[in-house]
Amino acid sequence: MRKITLVASFIMAVAVVGLLTNCKSKSSDTASKESNESKTNIQLSSTFSAAWVNIDTLINNYDMYFDMQKVLEESGRKSEAELSTKSRDFEREAGDFQNKVQKGLVTRSQAEQLQQVLAGKEQELYRLRDELRARLAEEQQVKLRQIQQSINDYLVEYNKEKGYHIILSSTFGGPLLYGHPALDITQEVMKGLNEKYISERKDK
């Protein structure tokens, strides 16, 4: 029976790309405008206005991202430790089986039975590995959505005062090819976002 070594590889990088916050532009229809503003509680400027946020910079300086990254890394370490322990136990058991077979300490029938048992344990290890990876991937996606939602929620509140018609996201390889520096609100959003997150974290 071949010796099996399982190596768990868990990647905890959290990347958030492609954030786009859409605010409805001012309509020539007065009734439609009043309806939109009543829903969003946002007073839009009389002329079309836009701004953009560098998402890469925002995420790389967002305290919530770092906190969630630590949680994911800890989950990854626990999963890897669990799999490594079970893998070492299996390798020890497989090595003991091979040693007994080589020394003729078991009958052919016993060897076949033990080999079947080990094969089942090997498959169980692979199943556990896949389960742990899937669990971590799901946790990562949940954290990602939480970060995205927190940014979206903050921008809605932020825009109630600013009244931009649209806030775009800028990220490497994204759809926004150029944004004038005067329209860059990244630092302002980053400051407010972190202040809001720190305040909410203290209240928990």
Least confident piece of the model among 15-29, 41-55, 144-158, 163-177: 15-29
CA 77 to chain centre: 16
Domain ranges across the chain: 32-203
Q: What is the pLDDT of residue 45?
A: 55
Least confident piece of the model among 19-33, 41-55, 119-133: 19-33
The mean pLDDT of 116-135, rounded to a whole number, is 96
Q: What is the pLDDT of residue 24?
A: 33
Q: What is the pLDDT of residue 123?
A: 96
**175-186 pLDDT per residue, tens:** 888 999 999 999
